[in-house]
A and B are shown apart, each in its own frame.
Chain A
Amino acid sequence: MIRYSIITILLLLAAFIVQQFLPAFTGLHHSRILLVQLVFLCCAVTVGQPTMLLLAFIGGFFWDAQCALGPHGGDPEVYTQQVENLRFGYSILLFGGMGFLMQGIQPLFKQGKWQFSALLSGIAVLLYLAAEYTIINFVRGDFTLSQATMRQMGYTAILTMLFSPVIFWMLFRIAGICDHSINPEAGRRRRRTR
């Protein structure tokens, strides 16, 4: 269990490195595969709440460290209405929220129905992007939501979701190596049918 938890943390950190080299799909409204969020979501459904919260903190903290922008820096007399920055650390709460959402269907995952979790990972990514965009609008004012933005969020969620079976396959393999069962009820049922 501890070995598995440590490996999920390492996997999340590895996702940060790989994410740097994943380009945006310009033909699909600049949508991209959000690997960090995907790895977190898939791991969140396989671990207990304390580990999920630790992963959410690490994921959100490093995501903000990667994306935070600096202050404007210009003359405030010329730039009277400067665009606000989002506070460092907001992603931690978003990651936490997504994690709780994934844990909501953990009973189904434990029964071996990982397909529901894969589907929910897409929905969670969509909600994450929508929440992030809403926060930007709330902080900066002047609410705008174009069709292109909606399509970008939709395509990003779908593209990310399509990769979730690969991450689940990896997690099953890792759990096997660590002698840890991430879906014990399904395992029990398999043994009974034999």
Chain B
Amino acid sequence: MKPLNLIALLLFLGGAVWALTRSDRSVREIQNAYYAAMSPFLKSGSKMETQARAFLQETRHSKELEAELEATREQLGRLRLIESRFRALEYENVQLRHALDFKKATRFDVVAARVIRRNPATWWQTVEIDSGSKRRVGTQLAVLSNEGLVGKIDRIDSGGERSSVLLLTDEKCQVSARVEGSPEVGILSGQRGGFDGEPMLRLRFLSPNAAVRPGQRVFTTGRGGIFQANIPLGTIDSVEKGALDSEALVRPSVNFADLGAVFVVLSADS
């Protein structure tokens, strides 16, 4: 081996070891610097994409109608979310009345955001939204759509205008979940490499003889410090019983192929 090649190889290995030994904090700093450098390109790219889409739609709708439709959609999404919350609260209220234990009503303070793009990774399921720290969005906050839980905020851009959402369909997004009408609780997460057709979720750590059946709905428990209680997650598709624990495949309530407007929960359970 030529001396220059050997030196280059040693430098390369040294650099790789240096990168591999970075702490989580330094990785976040590196990511922030990377996305700060990328930001102008992403902004102008998104702007061009939006303009192109608007231009194509203009043949069908006037701009005024389009804005009105967008506002109505956002409003409808918000109202649906409130409605689902009211249903959950109604259920909760009945339960609490039964237990003669009164609790302060839960309130959601949400920020509406638009999904800008999916991040170009093969194995990780993340999307970028157009809200960041400027709109009080922080990491580890729950992200909902009018259908249910979408995921959680994973990273905020240093510019404060964007953030990255780790989708519920990713294996790393774990949610403490309960099955409606049963005492069963477990951990729900995405499936590794589940790309065939509609993504399915895995509800693990159910009891070995879990009395759950297909069609039952799954909600968040509110435990674990990230997700609020009673957010719809999906419906049980099949159950696989094991010797130590049972697992269920859950069909997500959210259509992840068509994510448009989402809501970041800023605070709840006041």
Contacts and interface: CB of A to CB of B under 8 A. Distances in A.
Contacts of B155: 70
B160 to A, nearest CB: 17
Interface stretch (B53-61, B76-84, B97-105, B120-128): B120-128
Contacts of B243: none
Contacts of A60: 16, 19
A50 B45 CA distance: 34
A62 B120 CA distance: 13
Interface in A1-37: 16-17, 19-24, 26, 29-30, 32, 34
B192 interface: yes
B174 A50 contact: no
Contacts, number: 156
Interface string A60-104: 111011111111111100110111010111101100100000000
B236 interface: no
B30 interface: yes
Interface string B140-167: 1000000000000011000000000010
A57 B12 contact: yes
B181 interface: no
Given A53-B12, A96-B16, A82 B120 contact: no
Interface stretch (A38-46, A115-123, A148-156, A166-174): A148-156
A9 to B, nearest CB: 14
Nearest to A96: B12
A144 interface: yes
Contacts of B119: 66-67
Given A75-B223, A79-B187, A129-B122, A140 B171 contact: yes
A145 interface: yes
A23 B45 CA distance: 13
A163 interface: no
Contacts of A22: 120
A87 B20 contact: yes
A122 to B, nearest CB: 15
Nearest to A128: B122
A32 B124 CA distance: 13
Contact of B194 (A65, A66, A96, A148): A148
B139 A17 contact: no
B172 to A, nearest CB: 5
25 contacts: A21-B49, A32-B122, A34-B122, A50-B4, A54-B8, A61-B19, A62-B34, A65-B30, A66-B34, A66-B121, A68-B31, A70-B24, A70-B155, A73-B140, A78-B223, A79-B174, A79-B224, A88-B20, A88-B27, A89-B18, A90-B20, A136-B192, A149-B193, A152-B193, A152-B195
